[in-house]
Chain A
Amino acid sequence: MTPFDYTRASSPAEASRLGREGATFIAGGTNLLDLMKLEIMTPDRLVDISRLELDGIDRTGDGGLRIGAMVRNSDLAADAIVRKHYPMLAKALLAGASGQLRNKATTGGNLLQRTRCYYFYDTAMPCNKREPGSGCQAIGGVTRLHAIFGASEHCIATHPSDMAVALRALDARVEIEGADGAVRNVGLDEFYRLPGDTPHIESILAPGDLITSVILPPPEEGRQTYRKVRDRASYAFALVSVAGRIRMEGGRIARAGFAFGGVAPRPWRDRDFEATLEGNEPSPALFERAADALVANASTHGDNAFKVPLLKRTAQAVLTELTES
């Protein structure tokens, strides 16, 4: 690791101020320290935000849920309200990492974890995300983990989080305290930026912006789940994953909320997929039509072509599971 100064923030305002001055926040540190050891990230100042009192899980006035940014992944997955009313979120969290890592990893940090693209991790290789303008070796290289949606000619890396995929399907919003003290919240769809020609900029966060919580809308009736397909049965990143929820009314799908992981630079949502389902009676033919709509705009890069049929089948399997009597 390159040397750095270490400060422990005593308040979100202090953290934001130091962040605006160029400091990097550290919470659980499970991803950041890994990247610092490899000198992929080389902050010269760390601000420890892990002891800020942002670790509550509380009902909101409208019956939703406010999850503090410092809530550990293991605590969130074990929370009784999450398990009962937002089970896809508990399942997504439990599908990620290991028991030890979930005990450290935080809600805010999980959202901001970096890609596991092999070329991003290999400092001997060019990478537009790590070194803007240096090029992308993944394109034309080994692409088993790479994106089929939302990528650009500059970067085809995927976002690795499971948690964020469930949050996207649940219409979560991210609450941010800015360096000026103003608090705003944005939907997860607006929170992540697609790579375009600036793949090193991954979210809308400006220097000093601190994630303070994630807010879930009130739970909806219906079924939900999270299914992850990976190379090992445990402790591996997703090849593809599906977070889905369905509310039925009179034998028809009244509402579908789906997000897909392992396939894009951010948790992927496709309104055509949901629109194809809504208002219709569930059937294998309908599910196939929806899955076809989902992958209609997929763009593959050699090795990752298998993700198109795998995503279709996984989506159809989840739809079947959520609608069978």
Chain B
Amino acid sequence: MQTRLHINGDDHQLDADARTTLLDALRNHLGLTGSKKGCDHGQCGACTVLVNGRRINSCLTLACMHDGDEIVTIEGLGAPGRLSALQQAFVHHDGFQCGYCTPGQICSATAMLEEIEAGWPSHVTSDVSGKAELTVDEISERMSGNLCRCSAYPNIVDAIMEVGKGRRG
């Protein structure tokens, strides 16, 4: 199947079996190995990428369903020497141990902060019709789709909190 993907600002033409997930297309066909395969069943979040600005599990979607879509992976968020604010904050707060979940954590957090800014409520927002605050509980709940088996959660939350607060000025 021919699929046109717009990834990190570049056009890519993918020729792959219809069964190819977006994650496998990125890693195995396009050489973008920043996105990680953890569980391959949407449970761990290591494969999180942004599609048209939204975070999704790239393991649970077919590449051919994303013809023409705008995709951003960890490689597109920043690189050594020009890290994104969240990448910098993860380094500063030591928000990882083995690092395997980190690309997914950072992609997820990037979109999650946008969701809070857009006023989306969460399971822990006391009044769903009101505005959510940037709290540890909110960050933990909204990031529950990203597992860290090293349990670096406290530092991950600190990193996200720093960037979130900076944005809110």
Contact = CB atoms under 8 A, between A and B. Distances in A.
A103 interface: yes
A184 interface: no
Given A34-B42, A94-B128, A104 B144 contact: no
A33 B112 contact: no
A101 interface: yes
A83 B131 CA distance: 11
Interface string A27-48: 0011001100100000000101
Contacts of A100: 42, 45, 48, 55-57, 108, 145
A235 B145 contact: yes
A4 B145 CA distance: 29
B57 A91 contact: no
A84 B62 contact: no
Contacts of A6: 1, 18, 62, 64
A26 B106 CA distance: 28
Q: Is the interface of B mostly helix, strand, loop or mixed?
A: loop
B34 interface: no
B60 interface: yes
A144 B17 CA distance: 39
A48 B121 CA distance: 29
B56 A78 contact: no
A80 to B, nearest CB: 8
A257 interface: no
Contacts of B111: 99
Contacts of B19: 1, 3-4
B144 A34 contact: no
A87 interface: yes
Contact of B55 (A37, A78, A99): A99
A280 interface: no
29 contacts: A1-B19, A3-B18, A29-B62, A29-B65, A30-B42, A33-B61, A34-B60, A37-B41, A48-B65, A74-B115, A74-B120, A77-B128, A78-B121, A83-B128, A90-B128, A91-B123, A94-B125, A99-B111, A99-B142, A99-B144, A100-B48, A100-B57, A101-B57, A101-B145, A103-B56, A104-B56, A234-B123, A234-B140, A235-B145
Interface of A: 1, 3-6, 8, 26, 29-30, 33-34, 37, 46, 48, 50, 74, 77-78, 80, 83-84, 87, 90-91, 94-95, 97-101, 103-104, 233-235
Given A6-B64, A30-B61, A100-B108, 16 more contacts: A1-B19, A74-B54, A78-B121, A83-B129, A87-B128, A90-B121, A95-B123, A98-B145, A99-B108, A99-B112, A99-B115, A100-B145, A101-B57, A103-B54, A104-B56, A235-B144
